[in-house]
Structure 1
């Protein structure tokens, strides 16, 4: 402007044009001309401003800020963008970020459960309500599990019954905003949830992580599903959100917390928010909330034909193994799991036709033997050794059960895994010793003959790495004769193998 204002023909000409645009009207109709020109100029200024604003707030501009170091205004939570996927290749444990809900008051005790499955390669945090004081001079590895305190913003949201549920629901916002690289899945769980991470990777690998997925398990007790929802993942059993869905959920979370303040649990708040996004619940039968009371034996001994992904509520249930506490029981289960993760708790059934015995193996956990024939359908139906979660009643459950017979002679003799090892040529050996489940005493000759078998050795080849990517089918087993020498009355040898083409159980 200074160059134009100083003199010269060009400068005077430009000044004349500018002054003529804003001339002072001499007649009334000139006011209309002036108003029209002023309106046109105003529209031009506003249009240019909107274009510039859209440019600097667009996703591409935010990318430039990372690449070239430009400092732009912070993006509001509601405008959280979907970051591009940077990783390629098969999903592995490094692509999973665990967001575990904990509390400072119970962290020292509950860390025993997480330490069973957390490794140096595990990514994630246990999110606490406040800092926890770790004992001085500790050497326990469980205290090296990374923890963080939830963002205090959760305290501003109202609630009806469970204040902690608000914070736990918002953990997905805490986790996503860390913006960590190469995260394909966010997996939520409680501090007493035990994950079987190799199987979790196997399950999630079936799904396209660049699409929006909401994967988990339902409650086992119908009364829980009726009270909360059938079409949602129960949080204690754990559930997985793909990164694109986590981004949408994080952006919508605060509004959802305001709308769904009347729900009891964090998982129901999350499920309702995901429903607004339009993503359905995908159930995987290996996630276990374990909404049952008493002895989980019958359920675990007849595990569904699916990879074991998680176990929850074990602190409230009878120990899995006799004469062991819950932590010792899980430590025992982890031994065979590390040898053959795909096979853990998988049920294999067969019959000893010579003795007319029915045999059911829950690999790595237990063996049941009956002194009479049972059909395959009966063997795969869980014995009801448990009650419902809320009312401690006999049901209903979301799966069929069969009752324990009142006659002790009709109940199984039970064995529990007490040893596991690798063998050459990619095989395994597991040992099972007779264990008392307080099923009563039977004086019949055949039952007495069975109880003389004190130990069972099970051999098998390790499962095919692609086992769960194929159409599922239970394997078969058979009693091996003449393999146990002088102690054949006290020992039994079973072999697990693929079923023959025309073989039936």
Structure 2
């Protein structure tokens, strides 16, 4: 703030001289009133406004805060505003902890894994694991689901016990299992879309219709993880223990919380990037045609085949995370285009796989996941999304290439490459178009960093386009692909 200018001081002095001519008493009264008013204003602004409530609990004290401190910009939601509650067990943590340690960042990520007993066998506690807490005894609660486990009661209360820790600056409570892998940058971007000061319940359903019919279409599945805003958590904590007894016949902790949400009246906000993974077999088809949404979580990784061939389950997730670290927003985002010189259809799931069809495939088919998996109960379906048959005939299958590395370029872009597995096609198609496709060793895919605003709730997302590129130095057995924003009037339409 600049000091008053000499001119303004002179004008003020002149003003006081003019009014003092009329009445010395008037001048004295005016001066006394001004001092009193100034003192009252200072007292008002410095009085602890937290004690001043207008007898109105709903009244917003932001105005008073701004009068004291001045208006301030709202800080965007970041990882420090999220408190994770992970359901675990002392007996299984040594086997499951490797999944949590893939995404947990000590001193950055906040939260705890809640265990059923003291993990004496894990002393010292692994330094890369979340810190643990022991859940309170739940023997007083009813549990009448004959095919379930009483641990559902304990895990349902994790949110209540987390809330009652009274930690500061928590906007969101995120629940998950000990075999859930969160992609936290994308989780933050999803939660930024929503006003944490309002009641939100964010998650997703099961992929298997049978699971949704048995449990619920209206709840966030706990393995996929779900997020509850602070105001909703405060309301949920008030009624949760009663809900646990009222819904004692419900199988899972997430189902019990879903019952509470019905009583409170807050519906599930469905976000497609939370993956319960209630499937069996290979997740390849699901992940190679990911919905247009950021990848937020993967669950049940012990119940599906590894994401990449010739690796174990933990190593395969590490490989996907290697791509994710370079461009979190773009991970698993699908794009596809045509090479019209060879009548090829090419589908890219960034950071995971490239599919090469040596013939033209319609966009609707490319955008529909291949059914390389069964339901959670080992049946052919149905699922909560469309699938297309994965043919056993070699002349109808795509040639697959898997993510093999990433390089960040200096112009806010990345180069990823994808290699064909040597034994990918033991049964080969002997047609000429396939013979040419088998000569391809890999793909190089260039792409600019994807703008997080793509997921802004005020902007309708659109799948990006791609094109086959190349120059005089291009290798014949390496295909160059560039992913870019679609041009006006551009669509992926085969001739």
If the length of structure 1 is used for normalisation, what is the TM-score? 0.80
1:269 aligns with 2:253: no
> Partner residue of 2:414?
428
Q: Gaps spanning 5+ residues in structure 1: where?
A: 1-62, 65-80
Q: 2:188, 2:59 → 1: CA distance?
A: 23
Q: 1:333, 1:133 → 2: CA distance?
A: 33
Superimposed CA distance per residue, residues 109-156 of structure 1 (whole angstroms, 9 cap, x where no aligned partner): 111000111113100000000111355578x5434x21110112x221
Aligned with residue 158 of structure 1, among 142, 150, 164: 142
Aligned with residue 336 of structure 1, among 313, 319, 323: 323
1:476-491 to 2 correspondence within 5 Å? 476-482=465-471, 484-485=473-474, 488-491=475-478
Contact kept, 8 Å, 2:86 with 2:112, in 1: the verdict is: yes
* 1:335 Cα deviation after fit: 1.1
Aligned with residue 396 of structure 1, among 344, 365, 382: 382
1:155 aligned counterpart, secondary structure: coil
Q: 2:306, 2:407 → 1: CA distance?
A: 23
> Partner residue of 2:131?
146
Aligned-residue RMSD, C-alpha: 2.0
Q: 1:387, 1:437 → 2: CA distance?
A: 21
2:173 aligned counterpart, secondary structure: strand
Q: 1:123, 1:452 → 2: CA distance?
A: 49
Aligned with residue 462 of structure 2, among 459, 469, 473: 473
* 1:451 Cα deviation after fit: 1.1
4+ runs deviating over 3 angstroms: 81-88, 134-138, 436-440
1:418 aligned counterpart, secondary structure: strand
1:420 aligned counterpart, secondary structure: strand
> Partner residue of 2:46?
none
Structure 2 CA distance for partners of 1:377 and 1:253, relative to 1, 3 Å: same
1:93-242 to 2 correspondence within 5 Å? 93-120=79-106, 121-133=108-120, 135=122, 141-143=127-129, 145-152=130-137, 154-160=138-144, 161-242=148-229
1:413 aligns with 2:399: yes
1:244 aligns with 2:244: no
Q: 1:484, 1:378 → 2: CA distance?
A: 33
Structure 2 CA distance for partners of 1:353 and 1:394, relative to 1, 3 Å: same
Q: 1:365, 1:463 → 2: CA distance?
A: 16
Q: 1:113, 1:443 → 2: CA distance?
A: 42
* 1:382 Cα deviation after fit: 0.2
* 1:173 Cα deviation after fit: 0.9
Q: Gaps spanning 5+ residues in structure 2: where?
A: 1-49, 52-57, 66-72
Contact kept, 8 Å, 1:408 with 1:439, in 2: the verdict is: no
* 1:438 Cα deviation after fit: 5.8
Superimposed CA distance per residue, residues 414-443 of structure 1 (whole angstroms, 9 cap, x where no aligned partner): 000010110011110101000255683211
Structure 2 CA distance for partners of 1:360 and 1:264, relative to 1, 3 Å: same
> Partner residue of 1:72?
none
Q: Which has the larger radius of gyration?
A: 1
Contact kept, 8 Å, 2:94 with 2:122, in 1: the verdict is: no
* 1:184 Cα deviation after fit: 0.3
Structure 2 CA distance for partners of 1:401 and 1:453, relative to 1, 3 Å: same
Superimposed CA distance per residue, residues 219-269 of structure 1 (whole angstroms, 9 cap, x where no aligned partner): 000000011111111110000000011111111111111111111111110
> Partner residue of 2:287?
300
Superimposed CA distance per residue, residues 361-392 of structure 1 (whole angstroms, 9 cap, x where no aligned partner): 000000001011111110010000000002x1
Q: 1:179, 1:213 → 2: CA distance?
A: 20
Contact kept, 8 Å, 1:322 with 1:437, in 2: the verdict is: no
Contact kept, 8 Å, 2:359 with 2:433, in 1: the verdict is: no
1:463 aligns with 2:447: no
Q: 1:123, 1:249 → 2: CA distance?
A: 21
Matched length: 421
Q: 1:82, 1:108 → 2: CA distance?
A: 49
1:489 aligned counterpart, secondary structure: coil
If the length of structure 2 is used for normalisation, what is the TM-score? 0.82
Q: 2:116, 2:173 → 1: CA distance?
A: 20
Q: 2:180, 2:340 → 1: CA distance?
A: 41
Structure 2 CA distance for partners of 1:216 and 1:484, relative to 1, 3 Å: farther
Structure 2 CA distance for partners of 1:397 and 1:166, relative to 1, 3 Å: same
> Partner residue of 1:368?
355
